[in-house]
Chains A and B, each alone.
Chain A
């Protein structure tokens, strides 16, 4: 009897020891938000991080004020290169103004067109287990957007998810809860981008905190998206004028062109080009980037919301520049931090 008990305990010990986050309830994922997929660099990332899912921006839909119709934009150019071994989740970003302008009677046509295009981009649609829609809907567009989701679900018969912004979770009674199978809580872009005083508009834990009050009562099962991107916010004459995505940090160290200020801020010393934008003397730059500690804070804040739940943690977004900024090890720790 003792021997049997010992054997059982030994097996349990081995099983427990082998258990990583990959066989817990957390699925590791990334967003791919570019038009061209670089398979070579992705394979390395995927192998290093043990990714299980890839959310792929398939295309956007925006309202064309000339033709007064929704139009597709930014379609992925080389879907054939997408990895075969991962679960792919096509994402379609639809601007809120599309639904503001769309008439209810044109909804079915939009559903049909989006569905047709997805099938064109992903010919092996039977392998797709989930489709995600991204729309920053408001009270005025809630009804038509939700009708769209319902109609699309009926057409595709595929599990749907929708992105959920912080304000939508906080004021769910006003903005409604989308009729989908899962929600992806986008835990970023939460600060006051346009204010020079803002510390980091991508991830500002203090600003996010109140938005999560009552989030545990949100009736949709949630996944979580955390940011790993950076950008430069450009101010001219006191006004935010542009964002420089993937701002080359090393260039900001060139003291002949930029004077460093406090807190990752810079003043343009002499007029110069930076990543295609012409900056004038005295323009100001706020560099916003994500450090591993910031992400740990974000995880801490979200931990109770996702505790003992099966969910996907997806990082936004896949770009070798951002991954280099954080290192594979740091990203691995992030994936493991929800234990």
Chain B
């Protein structure tokens, strides 16, 4: 693969990863300095439709994440409000039209609507002519509603959150005036529903102006004077009352109200959860005493259960005792299972288990005990049949058994659950199918693989063919890959273990010879299983990765200066014409500057593919060894080639596939192995920074040279190697630059353009010379 292609693939991978992260992860507020955008890596086999979408906090991994996904309440609130307006007007106006009037229309249009309603001869304005809600209000002469809408629009600027950096204070006087004006007209309003809405606006204004006593006074005065049908607005009012109580230090009453709002009003559920606060045991007891029914008491336990890191099973037990059909029980169970999935599912073979442990502290130490408690609880509820969906609890019991690793018990429980499914319950059946497929992957065992590898691989193949389930749920891929990698690793098959999890290109930045050899063995086999065939088939779907593997291996050998071995490896490519597939290079270019990305270096120099280069190098090496005295130039050329294919040369990609400029930063060099961590490469990025081979050849060229210009050139290149060696260890406290070859060059100046050119080109040499000239 060419450099640009590798870079392109790499970029695609980054983009894809970021895209996946953005769509699959909840918005995340990072907790200060942490592992970048690292996320917990695990699996989940709960399907999203298993919960009623209207269930409280459906599928939110702990309610605290609401804080991060806020905006959700901002969506629900107008939806519920518009729905209620529509219900009050006999479901006649269109939803969108009500939304437009309530949330989008300006006050002038509303005033025009009022005027138009006053007189049949005045038509609706152009903007509202087609609005069914406006038409309804006009036809039915709903003056009170329109006047209310105008009033609400007047209140609006005072009761919305200010722009983040806006420091202008609220206009308290204007807010008070609005409250007073509405209060004056309140009793003359005939519609009790509209009265309720006025009450809400007044109380909200008082709350936003921080007149907390005023909120309570208005509540006590206004609410007894409304006699309306149940409405969400009552809960919205209670929300402001609770806020005022909390601000006045009446925390117990406030928390009681928040619990009721949480339980009964989805459009304020999020803010109620965030505001609920119990300081001590006395407050909790007092709050419980305020509750008038077991359902209300259960709501308190629900709020506690949804707290981040709660031991929800304890709270769920209380909720169940108080209110067995409480709608929070199922979402709470799902949340707990999701936590246990992180702890226990695939724990043995999760390829990220070390980072999960290090950064996310998973598994939690007592997760196993907690899983037992939760399984028992699920079983109890399934057995007692008092809950809404006993089959749901039975299936959860089975899944928990599977998570704990008891597949036998899990299957037995799944069978039991299956019997209780209602005939038309496709969601439960689909969930069960997902659990069962996950269990089949979980069941793939090392012992069986040892006994009969092909039968296990045949089962893997069968699992992958369960397309309907396997391809629909994203975690199956990872779950299976990780399991296979684990099995292969244990079976000492590093090639298979690698290739099931990564692309071949992931191996290139730091080739691992055991993996390459293992894959070469598979690629060379004649009786491949279907799984093995998939492993060694190239991206084109037709050819194999055999030549790619040979190219990687030979490049790796060349980087270790194993010339003959590298050449032999390359010759294993069945067709010499394929050598050109891996690029052509000009490694004998005399590059006295610093240029690692000069793609075209010379029109006059010979091009080599890697195989040809290896042949040439082997030949030159033999020749120079045979007659060193007359091969100074050959040594120089060998030096050039080895310099140019190193990290510091323009032909670095002969023996490397990925080069990073930041690799020379001191913090990357400290461990001395020149293998750098890289988020996308499992073995990091190995840089070929060793210039010693090149230096060895330049040194020989100097030793055997009879030509002063060749000596000068070789000295200069050797000095570059010397400088590079210093740069690599410059972070060491006692590291000192040496100038052995610059000294040689300085002491043997030659009268040629070359000498002047290198003086101009090389700043290190300039300053070295200057130090002798007293500058």
A114 → B minimal CB distance (Å): 9
Assess whether B80 is interfacial by the CB under 8 Å rule.
no
Question: What mask results when residues 30 to 43 of chain B are scored 1 for a CB within 8 Å of chain A, else 0?
Answer: 10110000000000
B108 → A minimal CB distance (Å): 29
Of the listed stretches B53-61, B361-369, B521-529, B748-756, name the one at the interface; the rest are far from the partner chain: B361-369
Chain A residues with CB under 8 Å of B278's CB are: 273, 276, 278
Question: What mask results when residues 16 to 31 of chain B are scored 1 for a CB within 8 Å of chain A, else 0?
Answer: 0000000000011110
A279 to B277, CA, bound (A): 14
B367 nearest CB neighbor, chain A only = A237
Chain B residues with CB under 8 Å of A120's CB are: 167
A64 to B304, CA, bound (A): 27
A174 to B666, CA, bound (A): 8
Chain A residues with CB under 8 Å of B666's CB are: 173-174
Chain A residues with CB under 8 Å of B667's CB are: 171, 173-174
A65 to B304, CA, bound (A): 27
Task: Report yes or no: B29 in contact with A113, Cβ–Cβ below 8 A.
Answer: no
**What class of interface size applies to chain A in its complex with B?**
35 or more
A11 → B minimal CB distance (Å): 50
**Contact for A238 among B29, B277, B364, B665, CB less than 8 A:** B364
Question: What mask results when residues 122 to 138 of chain A are scored 1 for a CB within 8 Å of chain B, else 0?
Answer: 00000000000000101
A275 to B283, CA, bound (A): 11
A273 to B255, CA, bound (A): 15
Assess whether A117 is interfacial by the CB under 8 Å rule.
yes
Task: Report yes or no: A71 in contact with B164, Cβ–Cβ below 8 A.
Answer: yes
Of the listed stretches B90-98, B309-317, B557-565, name the one at the interface; the rest are far from the partner chain: B309-317
Task: Report yes or no: A273 in contact with B30, Cβ–Cβ below 8 A.
Answer: no
B307 nearest CB neighbor, chain A only = A278
Instruction: Find residues 61-79 in chain A having any chain B CB closer than 8 Å to their own CB.
Output: 64-67, 69, 71-72
Task: Report yes or no: A276 in contact with B364, Cβ–Cβ below 8 A.
Answer: no
Assess whether B761 is interfacial by the CB under 8 Å rule.
no
Assess whether B70 is interfacial by the CB under 8 Å rule.
yes
Assess whether A300 is interfacial by the CB under 8 Å rule.
no
Task: Report yes or no: A65 in contact with B165, Cβ–Cβ below 8 A.
Answer: no
B302 → A minimal CB distance (Å): 13
Task: Report yes or no: B314 in contact with A136, Cβ–Cβ below 8 A.
Answer: no
B665 → A minimal CB distance (Å): 8
Task: Report yes or no: B28 in contact with A72, Cβ–Cβ below 8 A.
Answer: no
B160 → A minimal CB distance (Å): 14
Instruction: Find residues 520-558 in chain B having any chain A CB closer than 8 Å to their own CB.
Output: none
A136 to B667, CA, bound (A): 19
Assess whether A194 is interfacial by the CB under 8 Å rule.
yes
Instruction: Find residues 58-107 in chain A having any chain B CB closer than 8 Å to their own CB.
Output: 64-67, 69, 71-72, 95-97
Assess whether B281 is interfacial by the CB under 8 Å rule.
yes
Assess whether B406 is interfacial by the CB under 8 Å rule.
no
Task: Report yes or no: A276 in contact with B165, Cβ–Cβ below 8 A.
Answer: no
Assess whether B370 is interfacial by the CB under 8 Å rule.
yes
Task: Report yes or no: A237 in contact with B370, Cβ–Cβ below 8 A.
Answer: yes
Assess whether B422 is interfacial by the CB under 8 Å rule.
no
Task: Report yes or no: B311 in contact with A280, Cβ–Cβ below 8 A.
Answer: yes
Residue among B28, B29, B284 with the highest chain A CB neighbour number at 10 A: B29
**Contact for A66 among B30, B33, B71, B308, CB less than 8 A:** B71
A236 to B32, CA, bound (A): 21
Assess whether A116 is interfacial by the CB under 8 Å rule.
yes
Task: Report yes or no: A72 in contact with B32, Cβ–Cβ below 8 A.
Answer: no
Task: Report yes or no: A236 in contact with B281, Cβ–Cβ below 8 A.
Answer: no
Interface of A: prevailing SS:
mixed
Given A138-B33, A273-B283, are A237 and B364 neighbors across the interface (CB < 8 Å)? yes
Assess whether B294 is interfacial by the CB under 8 Å rule.
no
Task: Report yes or no: B167 in contact with A65, Cβ–Cβ below 8 A.
Answer: no
Assess whether A332 is interfacial by the CB under 8 Å rule.
no
Task: Report yes or no: B32 in contact with A136, Cβ–Cβ below 8 A.
Answer: yes
Chain A residues with CB under 8 Å of B310's CB are: 278, 280
Assess whether A39 is interfacial by the CB under 8 Å rule.
no
Task: Report yes or no: A96 in contact with B366, Cβ–Cβ below 8 A.
Answer: no
A173 to B366, CA, bound (A): 42
B69 nearest CB neighbor, chain A only = A66
Task: Report yes or no: B281 in contact with A273, Cβ–Cβ below 8 A.
Answer: yes
**Contact for B32 among A96, A171, A174, A272, CB less than 8 A:** A96
Given A116-B165, A239-B361, are A65 and B29 neighbors across the interface (CB < 8 Å)? yes
Given A194-B361, A276-B279, are A65 and B68 neighbors across the interface (CB < 8 Å)? yes
B666 nearest CB neighbor, chain A only = A173
A278 to B366, CA, bound (A): 19
Question: What mask results when residues 282 to 308 of chain B are scored 1 for a CB within 8 Å of chain A, else 0?
Answer: 011000000000000000000010011
Chain B residues with CB under 8 Å of A97's CB are: 29-30
Chain B residues with CB under 8 Å of A138's CB are: 33
B364 nearest CB neighbor, chain A only = A237
Task: Report yes or no: B365 in contact with A117, Cβ–Cβ below 8 A.
Answer: no
Task: Report yes or no: A65 in contact with B27, Cβ–Cβ below 8 A.
Answer: yes
**Contact for B33 among A136, A173, A240, A241, CB less than 8 A:** A136
Assess whether A304 is interfacial by the CB under 8 Å rule.
no
Task: Report yes or no: B314 in contact with A280, Cβ–Cβ below 8 A.
Answer: yes
**Contact for B304 among A69, A72, A278, CB less than 8 A:** A278
Assess whether B119 is interfacial by the CB under 8 Å rule.
no
| A-B contact sample (11 more), CB < 8 A, given A237-B367, A272-B281 | A71-B165, A96-B33, A138-B33, A171-B667, A238-B365, A238-B366, A239-B361, A271-B314, A273-B278, A276-B280, A278-B278
Chain A residues proximal to chain B, CB less than 8 Å: 64-67, 69, 71-72, 95-97, 113, 116-117, 120, 136, 138, 171, 173-174, 194, 236-242, 271-276, 278, 280
In the A-B complex, list the 4 residue pairs whose CB atoms are closest, starting with the nearest. A238-B365, A237-B366, A71-B164, A241-B309
A-B contact pairs, 12 of them (CB 8 A): A71-B164, A72-B164, A113-B165, A116-B167, A173-B666, A174-B666, A194-B361, A238-B366, A239-B309, A239-B361, A276-B279, A278-B310
